[in-house]
Amino acid sequence: MRVLFIGGTGNISTACVERALAKGHEVTVLNRGTHNEGLDPRVRTLIGDRHDAAILQKAAQEHFDVVANFVGFTPEEIALDLAAFAGQVGQYIFISTASAYQRPPNYYIITESTPLRNPYWEYARLKIACEDLLVRAYRERLFPVTIVRPSYTYGPTWIPCSVGGHGYTVVHRMRKGLPIVCQGDGQTLWVMTHASDFAVGFVGLFGNQQALGEAFHITSDEVLTWDAIYRTIGRAAGCPEIEIVHVPTDTIAALYPELTPGLYGDKAYSLVFDNSKIKRVVPEYRAQVRFAEGIAQSIAWHDADPEHRHIVNEKVNAMMDHLIAVQRRAMASG
């Protein structure tokens, strides 16, 4: 099949491009060309701004079998895609987010029928609005949409962290013997999905008639607490003994309001995903990469070129020091 990726060089989409090539698809990426140096030479590139209606319409005239949009974040962007690709594409796959699911959840096991509602995070609300627009286009005009909702998906260049984003900083602290911060009591359940696993399910949806008009999440079945996630990172980093300081989510949100959306809108709750739908439609999908294996690959990637990849985010570093000091004072005062 002829596949167009809008994006194609991100944390998740890179693995999906590689999987699509491995399955024999003819792959084109449409992006601004700023991060294309690592692309497989078999990938064709269209350089342009995805917000340019003329660029999208030019791409649509090639009548791709599948268009996979990894960089759609607002209804206005989706409206551009609908105008360009309606009647011109066999399948349009929209990358939404699992943070669109109801927060706080009524039940910790999430299915695709779980309501979509997130009062805390504008990013999630905008994705929901994008989904609404696409579902309406399917119902009214049979626009061939498939919606995919990733949860926390990491690849070789990412080291997950619940407070402070992804990156090397948390490993730096572990290796220096410094404590790290975890929201709440560290016992909420979470799922980490390796990008290479996600790609198997994602590419398996290409041209799949059962996927049209449907939504899927694609996650690992390995369920870990946040404490277990951090201890696994520590062991992979050569730090079998790490200190985790548990800071109430309310405290973090009060001191750093900018973190509120990602906590109350996502990581503060236990979430386990029922993957039976993607397994039914894509029978070959089974997440194979255990977190211990995947995070070892991520740390090895960072260690391979320390000068460029051992980058410590000093703002995150200082924030952790501050939160730890506040929590220790609160504990001492009883």
Q: What percent of the chain has pLDDT over 90?
A: 93
Residue-level pLDDT at 306? 81
Res. 296: pLDDT tops 90: yes
Paired tokens of 222? 């390995």
Confidence (pLDDT) at 200: 98
Structure confidence at residue 307 (pLDDT): 79
Q: CA 32, CA 35: separation in Å to the nearest integer? A: 8
* pLDDT for the residue 258: 96
Q: What is the pLDDT of residue 243?
A: 98
From 153, 151, 156, select the one nearest 296 (Cα to Cα): 156
DSSP 3-state of 324:
helix
CA atoms of 187 and 179, how far apart (whole Å): 17
Query: Whole-angstrom Cα distance, residue 93 to residue 96?
Result: 9
List, for residues 173-196, the tens digit of each pLDDT value: 999 999 999 999 999 999 999 999
CA 246 distance to own-chain centroid: 25
Residue 129: count of CB within 10 angstroms of its CB = 17
Averaged over 252-259, what is the pLDDT?
A: 97
Look at the block and give the residue holding tokens 């003819």. Answer: 26
Q: What's the rounded mean pLDDT across residues 156-176?
A: 94
Q: What is the pLDDT of residue 305?
A: 85
Cα(29)–Cα(6) distance, rounded to whole angstroms?
Answer: 6
Q: What are the tokens at 226?
A: 């946040």
- Maximum C-alpha span of the chain: 68
Q: What is the mean pLDDT of the chain?
A: 96
β-strands 109-110, 272-273 pairing? parallel
Mean pLDDT within 26-44: 90
Measured between alpha carbons, how far is 214 from 329 in angstroms, rounded to an integer? 50
Tell me what pLDDT residue 331 has.
Answer: 93
Q: Percentage of the chain with pLDDT > 70?
A: 100
H or E element: which one contains 278? helix 276-281
User: What is the rounded CA–CA span in Å between residue 220 and residue 206?
Assistant: 20
Domains of the chain: 2-153+193-217 (3.40.50.720), 158-191+223-271+291-329 (3.90.25)
**What is the distance between the alpha carbons of residues 179 and 129, in angstroms, rounded to a whole number?**
40
Determine the pLDDT at residue 51.
Answer: 94
Among 108, 94, 152, 99, residue whose Cα is nearest residue 273: 108
In whole angstroms, give the CA distance from residue 30 to residue 28: 7
Cβ-count burial of 141 within 10 angstroms (0-12 exposed, 13-18 middle, 19+ buried)? exposed
Angle between helical axes of 75-85 and 122-141 (0-180°, round to 10): 30
How far is the C-alpha of 222 from the C-alpha of 189, rounded, in Å? 10
Of 32-41, 51-60, 91-100, 151-160, the range with the lowest mean pLDDT is 32-41
Let me know: does 220 contact 287? Beta carbons within 8 Å: yes
Would you say residue 310 has pLDDT above 80?
Answer: yes
Tokens representing 180?
């790290």
CA distance 96 to 99: 9
Instruction: Give the model confidence (pLDDT) of 67-82 as tens digits.
Output: 999 999 999 999 999 9
Tell me the per-residue pLDDT of 79-113, one tens digit each, with 9 for 90 and over.
999 999 999 999 999 999 999 999 999 999 999 99
Q: Are 222 and 80 in contact (CB under 8 A)?
A: no
pLDDT digits (tens, 9 = 90+) for 37-48: 888 899 999 999
Give the whole-angstrom CA distance, residue 260 versus residue 88: 41
Q: What is the C-alpha to C-alpha distance for residues 129 and 213, in angstroms, rounded to an integer?
A: 16
Global confidence as pTM: 0.96
Is the model's pLDDT at 36 over the cut of 90? Answer: no
d(CA 266, CA 102): 10
Q: pLDDT tens, 129-152?
A: 999 999 999 999 999 999 999 999
Looking at residue 115, the DSSP 8-state letter turns out to be P
pLDDT at 214 over 80: yes
Predicted pLDDT at 33: 83
Mean of the pLDDT values across residues 7-30?
96
Say whether pLDDT at 65 is over 80: yes
pLDDT of residue 35: 82
Give the pLDDT confidence score for residue 4 in this predicted structure.
Answer: 98
Q: Can you tell me the mean pLDDT for 216-225?
A: 98
